[in-house]
Amino acid sequence: MTIKSVWLDFLAVSAYPRVQFDRGCREGDAPMRMSYNRALVTGGAGFIGSHIVEALVSAGCEVRVLDNLSTGRLSNLASVQGRIRFCRGDIRDRKRLAGQMDGCDVVFHEAAVVSVPLSVEDPVESAGVNEEGTLYVLEAARAHQVRRVVLASSCAVYGNDPQLPKHETMPPAPESPYAVQKRAGELYAGLYPKLYGLETVCLRYFNVYGPRQDPASLYSGVISVFMAKAFLDEPPIIFGDGTQSRDFVFVRDVVRANLLAAEAKGASGGIFNVGTGVGVGINSLWQAVRRISGCRREPDYAPARPGDVVASVAGIDHAAATLGFRARYALEQGLETTYGWCRANLGTHDGPPFPSSTEHGLT
C-alpha cells in the first residue's frame, strides 16, 4: 500500500484563509501520514461529510460516498465532482452499502437523522437509520476487512448533567431518542475491536458550524440561523435570556479530528470529544455575528424552551493526548469564513434557501 504524506494544515491550500492558532493550539503539527488509499464517507453529501470528502480528495485519497440525499445536497460536493464515486442510496440498503464499502481501508460514518425533534416525533424511523443503520455499516466494514471505522457521535449523549466540562468518563444521560441512538452506536462500535478485530473510533462532536450548514431546515444550528438573519438584516430570536452557552467547533477542525482519528495509535475502541474547550454564550455569539456582518439588529427574546441545556463545554484532554487533536480555529475566524460563504451562497440557485423559521437547534 502506498504511504502518502500529508501535511495536517493542507487546509491552507484550499479555498479557506490560512488558519491562525487559537488558545492552546500547537503550531506546526508534524506531517500526518495517511496510511490508506481508499475511504468511504457515509452521509458524504451532508454538511460535515462533504468537508471530510474534500479533505480526503485533496490528500490524494480515492473517495466513495453513500448518501440518500435526505438532508445532504449534491451541490455540497461540487468542488470534487468527477473525482469521487458517489452513490445515492440508503445505508440500510445492504447491497449498495457493500458495493461502496468493497476495497475501502477506512470508513467515516456521518450518515444520520440528525434532528433531535424528528427523533422525538418518530423514534422508530430515526432509530432505523441511527442505530440499525450504524450496525449495518459496522457489519459491512467487518465483512469487507475495513481497517478502521470513525463514527460521528454527539455531545447530546451527555444530556443535562450540569458538570462542566463534559468528560468522556461521565455517565451518559441521553434526553432524546437521538441521543440514545448515538449512544447505542458508540456501544456497538466499542464491541467491534474486541469481538471482531475491526478498529473503531467514536467522535462526540459538540456544536459544529461552518460553510454549507443549512439554515433552512427546522432546528438548524444556531450559528447558521444567526448568519442568515444577519445577512437578511433581521433580528434573531434568542430563547431564554441568552446566557446559555455552547462549545462551537469549526467544521475544518472537525475534519482534522476525523483524519487524526483514522490514524491514531491506541485510539481504537475509544470515544473522544471534539470541541474547543471554550463555552460561548448565545448573547455573545450574536454580538460576534453582528461585528462580522455589520448587522445592527438587537435580538428578540422568547421564553426558554423546555429541555434546553444550560451550558455545554467539551473536556478536550483525552482527544489531545490520544488523537493529538486540538481545535485551531478561533470563533471569530470561523464565523468570518462562514459569513463569507453565506454571502456568496444563501438563496442562490445551488445554495440553501433562506430560513423559513427562526427556530434553531441547541443540542
Ligand X SMILES: NC(=O)c1ccc[n+]([C@@H]2O[C@H](COP(=O)([O-])OP(=O)(O)OC[C@H]3O[C@@H](n4cnc5c(N)ncnc54)[C@H](O)[C@@H]3O)[C@@H](O)[C@H]2O)c1
Report the interface residues with ligand X, using CB under 6 A: 43, 45-49, 66-72, 90-92, 110-114, 129, 133, 152, 154, 205, 207-208, 221
Q: How far is the CB of 69 from ligand X (least distance, A)?
A: 5
Cβ-based nearer residue to ligand X, 128 or 235: 128
Tell me which of 36, 136, 178, 339 is the catalytic residue: 178
Pick the closer one to ligand X by CB: 68 or 293: 68
Count the Cβ atoms, other than its own, within 10 Å of residue 222: 25
Task: Give Cα 52 to chain centroid, integer Å.
Answer: 9
Least Cβ distance, residue 351 to ligand X (angstroms): 14
Q: Which three cell numbers stand for residue 234?
A: 433581521
Nearer to ligand X, 236 or 352 (CB): 352
Q: How far is CA 145 from CA 24, 64, 98, 103, 225, in A?
A: 38, 16, 11, 8, 41
Cell 445532504 sits at which residue? 72
Q: What's the min distance (Å) between Cβ of 119 and ligand X? A: 10
Q: Is 178 assigned a catalytic role?
A: yes
Beta bridge partners of 153: 204
**311 three-state secondary structure:** strand
Which residues are CB-contacts of 212 (< 8 A; sequence separation ≥ 6)? 47, 50, 51, 76, 251, 341
CB of 113 to ligand X, least distance (A): 6
> Which has the closest alpha carbon to 358: 289, 292, 291, 301?
301
**Nearest residue (CB) to ligand X, 220 versus 268:** 220
In the numeric block, which cell numbers belong to residue 342?
453565506
DSSP per-residue letters across 201-218: EEEEE-EEE-TT--TTST
List, by residue number, the catalytic residues.
178
